Structure 1
Amino acid sequence: MDDQNKNLILATALSFVVIMLWFVLFPAPETPSEPPTEVASQPAEGVITPGVATTPGAIEGDAGSTPTQDTGAPQPADAPRIAIDTPSLKGSISLQGGRIDQLSLKNYRETIDPNSPIVDLLSPVGSDAPYYALFGWAPGGGLAPDLVPGANTIWQADDTATLTPETPITLTWDNGAGLAFTRTISVDDKFMFNVEQAVQNTGDATVSLAPYGILARHGLPKDLKNFFILHEGGIRMADGELTETDYDDFDPINGVKTIAVEKDGWTGLTDQYWMTTLIPRDTGGFNVTTLQDGRRDIYQTTARMPTQTVAPGASASTRLEVFAGAKEWKTIRHYQNDDGVDRFVDSIDWGWFFFLTKPIFAVLHYLNNMIGNMGWAIIGLTLLIKALLLPLAYKSYVSMAKMKELQPQMEKLKEEADGDKQKLQKSMMELYKKQKVNPASGCLPIILQIPIFFSLYKVIFVTLELRHAPWIGWIHDLSAPDPSSILNLFGLLPFDAPGPESALAIISLGVLPILLGVSMWLQQKLNPTPADATQKMIFAWMPWVFMFMLGQFASGLVVYWIANNTITFTQQYAIMRSQGYKPDVFGNILDGFKRKPKKDAPAKSDKL
């Protein structure tokens, strides 16, 4: 292999090392969650409810927006409640505001310990981290705020004791001034609530009012990752355009921007694995605001539907769906494809390489369903990727084998050039052309592996299906680093390995990272040790640098890299043998341990 080809490969490899080092050494700093200040002394929730346009039938714009503060007497925790019980959810609805404010995910636990608590998604005001969905009607046309239901209205419930997929609940409230309000809430067996709001005008005057839904979160999430590869915060789909808003970028309460959605869309708050979303239905358009009340440390997003004009004796209704649960790809895809929630799968943070991350995960999901284990699915994915890249790999390894055959001729050209680099380069190019060899072809498979590697890293980090997914033996969570450690002899010594927060974590290598380093080192030994001392040193250290760098990465990513190295070794060895070149792996290993003799070493004097 000539110097030009070696330098190209070296530059590619070093660029990859630099990028990976950046991931490890310079992650975005974590911002600790701050608890809501003086929750007990606040009004019921401090949520800002939208004003309403005075023009009948209009959707309120910025000019018509006059936010008002809902206040109320009892805390939501003191109000009567209706239980929620489904195969996926358990919790309750507070009759104060008719809000969904207590919700846990039955099928997900906080840690891999089967006895750990299940994941809490929504919590009422007065808890450590209030987070809830509420609904109401904003008054218009001179209608007094206390004549419409809001965040603190005490609703009356029907005789249904528990909200289940088979038993919806109906809430009623009469304002005593000619308006009777009804709210019917149903839920499916997954994570989607259906909220139908209706009003009947039994008075003698026409009224204008606009229905709305609000998602509100007090303070930042306790488990906020604040990592640049992951979006957490507001998320909105407006007529096919996806917008992600970090918590730092929420509009201040005195500078709220209103986004008009003409047809389809949704708005919500998303975490790494969980999400709440408002999905207006059959509205003919709606408005969205995403704001932060800095004084109360509340983040909220609002979907405000068009103003309803209700004549005496008439009624009006609206429908809003609320997704509150886990971002399961199959479930979200069902809501998108079967229920028409526009681009709902994009609520999963696929990143810039979405054209790779989406199909990679789809294949992983299919293989996992077929095999029944996500670790073996990752290895199956690696086999498929290597099969797709085999034509390029074949050309690369054939070219490398031919380069080995041309090595004597290349050495002869170097002697003839006598230090003339231009002459040498011209002679080399003529030789490559004559022998139909492309010296850069060996880099293409390596370059293509880089976006695939980053895409798989993204998939493992953001998709729920990899969370707490076991593989074999000691690997109980493919989204977490290998828990074994060389520091306690992989569990033989009677003490635990240092955690990721320890300074010793970088050298606390598990079995998988060590196998990664060994597989990369063996792959290098298919080729003779470079003659250049600098290249030899860099190539010698590279497997062990990668071993330490990837030691704290997700186990699933390390499994992929080990499988990739193993398959690459097999492919390269077989293809080079088919071209008449027999790689001397064992000889190259021994050569790597030989010390280079010192030049011009003084001869030892004879003993007298």
Structure 2
Amino acid sequence: MDDQNKNLIIATGLSFIVILVWFVLFPPPEGPAPLAPSETAQSTAEGDSLTTPAAPVNSSVSTEATATIELLAEAVDTAPRVQISTDRLSGSISLLGGRIDDLSLNDYRTSRDEDAEVVKLLIPVGGEDAYYALHGWAASTGLDPAAVPGPNTEWSAPDSDVVSVGNPVTMTWDNGAGLLFSKEIAVDEDFMFTITQSVTNTSDSPASMAPYGILARHGEPTDLKNFFILHEGVVAMGDGEYSEINWDDMPDFEFAEREGARAQVKQITENGWIGFTDHYWMGALIPAQGSAFKSVAKYDERRDIYQAETVMPTQTVAPQATITAVSQFFAGAKEWETLRKYEEQGVYNFIDSIDWGWFSFLTKPIFWLLHHLHELIGNMGIAIIALTLLIKAMLFPLAYKSYVSMAKMKELQPQMEALKKDSGEDRQKMQQGMMALYKKEKVNPAAGCLPILLQIPIFFSLYKVIFVTIELRQAPFFGPFQDLSLPDPTSLLNFYGLAPWAGPEAGSIMALAFIGILPLLLGISMWLQQKLNPAPTDPTQQMIFAWMPWVFMFMLGSFASGLVVYWIANNTITFTQQYLIMRSQGYKPDLLGNIKGGFGRKAKSDAEK
């Protein structure tokens, strides 16, 4: 077997196996009040809606818990609200608990349709996928839990207040026993809320309590992607250690008596945050950086609530004194520029809330480069092509050596054929003769594999970038390709995008039968790249080479169209590089002859050239 063809088959086969396993095993994806946080003691709500179970309960939501949820939903629905209004956010804050529970992202819609709804991130209790944040105080030992405001406490605020950039709202509550509580909620021009909580003690006795933040979700989100390349669930940073917890892992936590639920608890000494992440959106509780806090991921199986929690150290407010606690709450889109800004403002390693994956050393610089190319060019599809050019330019020295080696291998073909003839059935003699020939002519037969093998981690890293970053969401290219994060929408059934109706669903039999434009171009580009070399004489090799481009075409057809654009550009540039370098070394690929040979007409032999 020709060593060059053997190397190419091995490298291509490795790529094929990895992508095939990935594609088959991981195909693209077709409540109540929260538990009160525990410090030295646990705070309870007015009434008993926040009392915690003393022992594990059945995983199904109890009838009593359901009734409590319905009562709470009614109370939240009728409670007064303070409006949130910025260029990027709209919604409201309920004065029942001072909960931030109604938030829409004005810049994002659920689809590219003109009448598509704005993305709604936070939802009050009673709505599907209820999701909200609460901030308050947990009573310490010796202080009546009813002396601090709970999740169901109704705060007071001026009727005319609207939370906007530079215009915070201040809520107040008097416990009637000498403690005056205030909660100021401010919002910036993007997605960050700042919560400043104060307690003034007008009594003659000191009082101890711990400030906390709660982020609660009622049940698993209904719009989960459930795709292994994407993390959805708890995301946290603590003392330089990044951690992730999937939704379905939280019910398996050990029951923690002190927390009153299944919980995972970590003591953070200075810097960190915790929250819930979706595909493109995130809510995160951020205590004052540089301060210690308790980070909790919690699942209340009685009420089916998933909860992230931060509890700061206990503070004591002396008579006639005031204490203050400041924290932040992020609720918005995981935009790279925005997260980087908050990181520069002191939120420790906040950029890691984007799921960069195991190959973060590749995905981060690849995205950085793609982001800046997009800013410069203004079209994400062209930016991907430009990124491909830059990657190929960086790999060019290696590619040059590879293609020079391939050209030399072609020149040595007559001598190799003579060695095979002289060696007969003595394979050891043939191998020794070939190694001596390679050493004499300074040829590395394995050099042809390296550029192909290097493409595998780059391919996966770019796929990760295209799949997880919001900058690729609904990013247009041209014509029918208006969302590079989705598969090619064209098909023969919609006249390749000319008809006003959609093509078949990605991954379906119809989509495979009537493949789109980009997968077709991918198959053709791979096929042409093969034709730079004559078809191998071995029938097995011929079959592999004949089928490989079209197998890849169908496999990658259901991948994000941005990735297919990259692969087409990569094949085209590789073809051009290989053709020009081989010609510069005196070997003239007979492209037309090899194409004819592929259709059963004999191509010219190397000797004829």
Same fold (TM over 0.5): yes
Q: Which amino acid aligns with 2:25?
A: F
Q: Does 1:269 align with 2:276?
A: yes
2:60 is matched with: none
Whether 1:585 and 2:591 are equivalent positions in the alignment is yes
Residues in 2 aligned to 1:354 and 1:431: alpha-carbon distance in whole angstroms: 42
Moved more, 184-193 or 587-596: 587-596
Question: Residue 159 of structure 1: CA displacement?
Answer: 5.2
Task: Measure how far apart 1:114 and its partner are.
Answer: 2.7
Instruction: Say whether 1:477 aligns with 2:483.
Output: yes
Structure 1 counterpart of 2:241: 241
Identity of aligned residues (%): 58
Q: Partner letter of residue 266 of structure 1?
A: W
SS in 2 for 1:18: helix
Structure-1 residue corresponding to 2:62: none
The partner residue of 1:310 within 296, 317, 339 is: 317
- For residue 599 of structure 1, what is the aligned residue in structure 2? none
Distance change >3 Å, CA 228–CA 175, structure 1 → 2: same
Q: How does 1:557-572 map to 2 (within 5 A)?
A: 557-572=563-578
Shift of 1:54: 6.5
Work out the CA distance in 1 between the residues paired with 2:476 and 2:28: 29
* TM-score (norm. length: structure 1): 0.91
| Deviation of the 1:487 alpha carbon | 3.5
CA distance in 2, matches of 1:330, 1:457: 20
Query: Hey, what's the Cα distance between the residues in 2 that align with 1:318 and 1:406?
Result: 77
Secondary structure of 1:581 counterpart: coil
Q: Which residue of 2 aligns with 1:19?
A: 18
| Residue number in structure 1 paired with 2:77 | 77
Once the 2 structures are TM-superposed, how far is the Cα of residue 489 of structure 1 from its aligned partner?
3.4
* 1:203-226 CA distance string (max 9 Å, x none): 111111101000000111121011
Shift in Å, 1:51: 2.0
State the secondary structure of the residue aligned to 1:11.
Answer: helix
1:202 is the counterpart of 2:208: no
Indicate which of 374, 383, 386 corresponds to 1:377.
383
C-alpha RMSD over aligned residues:
2.1
| Partners of 1:219 and 1:299 within 8 A in 2 | yes
Code of the residue aligned with 2:198 in structure 1: it is A
Paired AA for residue 79 in structure 2: A
Give the one of 394, 399, 404 matched to 1:393.
399
Offset from partner CA, 1:259-292 (integer Å, 9 cap, x none):
0010000000000100000110156200011011
CA positional deviation for 1:50:
1.1
Partner of 2:338: 331
Aligned to 2:196, what secondary structure does the other structure show? Answer: strand
- 1:506 pairs with 512, 524, 536, which one? 512
Q: Distance in 1 between matches of 2:497 and 2:366?
A: 34
Structure 2 stretches of 5 or more lacking a match?
43-50, 55-64, 603-609
| Contact in 1 for aligned 2:15/2:453 (Cα 8 Å) | no
Cross-structure match for 1:173: 173
Q: Which amino acid aligns with 2:202?
A: T
- What residue number does 1:142 align with? 142
Shift of 1:501: 6.4
Q: Matched residue of 1:103: which SS?
A: strand
2:333 corresponds to 1:346? no
1:54 and 1:140 in contact (8 A); partners too: yes
2:126 maps to 1:119: no
User: Shift in Å at residue 29 of structure 1?
Assistant: 9.2
Find 1:360's aligned residue among 349, 357, 366: 366
Q: Give the AA of the match of 1:17.
A: F
Give, in angstroms, the shift of residue 158 of structure 1: 3.0
Distance in 2 (alpha carbons) for counterparts of 1:105 and 1:297: 26
**Are the equivalent residues in 1 in contact too, given 2:53–2:261 (CA < 8 A)?**
no
Q: Does the 8 A contact of 1:282 with 1:319 survive in 2?
A: no
Q: Partners of 2:203 and 2:53 in 1: how far apart? A: 27
Number of residue pairs aligned between Structure 1 and Structure 2: 574
Shift of 1:257: 3.1
1:341-384: per-residue Cα shift (whole Å, max 9, x none)? 11100000000110000000000000000001111100000000
Pair 1:453-2:459 in alignment: yes
Structure-2 change in CA distance of 1:96 and 1:28 (3 Å):
farther
Please give the per-residue CA displacement for 1:109-159, whole angstroms capped at 9, x wherever unaligned: 000113200100000001112100011111112211111011001000035
Tell me, what secondary structure is at the counterpart of 1:48? coil
Residues in 1 aligned to 2:297 and 2:166: alpha-carbon distance in whole angstroms: 34
Kept in 1, the 8 Å contact 2:489–2:502? The answer is no
What TM-score, normalized by structure 2, do the two folds share?
Answer: 0.91
Query: How far, CA to CA, are the matches of 1:516 and 1:143 in structure 2?
Result: 69
On the 8 A contact 2:293/2:310 being kept in 1, the answer is: yes
Per-residue deviation, 1:471: 0.5
Give CA deviations for 1:170-221 in whole Å, capped at 9, x if unaligned. Answer: 0000000010001001000100000000101111111111010000001111
In the alignment, the residues of structure 2 paired with residue 330 and residue 492 of structure 1 have an alpha-carbon distance, to the nearest angstrom, of 36
After the TM superposition, which of the residue ranges 354-363 and 217-226 deviates more from structure 2?
A: 217-226
Following superposition, the deviation at residue 12 of structure 1 comes to: 2.0
* Structure 1: distance between partners of 2:499 and 2:225: 33
Letter in 1 for 2:578: Q
Q: Which is worse superposed, 366-375 or 494-503? A: 494-503
**C-alpha distance in 2, partners of 1:300/1:384?**
44
Cα 1:243–1:179, aligned 2, differ >3 Å: closer, same or farther? same
In 1: Cα distance, 2:290 partner to 2:434 partner: 70
What's the CA shift for 1:586? 0.3
Deviation, structure 1 residue 502: 3.7
Aligned mates of 1:282, 1:473 — CA distance in 2: 47
Cα distance in 1 for partners of 2:289, 2:420 equals: 76
CA distances 1:40-93 after superposition (whole Å, capped 9, x unpaired): xxxxx33001122279xxxxxxxxx98899998652121000000111100000
1:594 is aligned to 600
1:299 corresponds to which residue? 306
SS of 1:257's equivalent in the other structure is: strand
1:24, distance to aligned residue in structure 2 (A): 2.2
1:460–1:496: structure 2 CA closer, same or farther, 3 Å change rule? closer
Aligned pairs for 1:425-444 (under 5 A) are 425-444=431-450
Distance 2:366 2:216 in 1: 34
Match of 1:544?
Answer: 550
Q: Is the 8 A contact 1:28 1:226 kept in 2?
A: no
Matched AA of 1:49: A
AA matched with 1:20: I
What does 1:36-115 correspond to in 2, within 5 Å? 39=31, 45-53=32-40, 75-115=75-115
| 8 A contact 2:41–2:138 mirrored in 1 | no
Structure 1 residue 506 displacement after superposition = 2.3
Deviation of 1:21 after TM superposition, in Å, equals 1.6
**SS where residue 256 of structure 1 aligns?**
strand
Distance 1:501 1:586 in 2: 34
Distance 1:263 1:584 in 2: 66
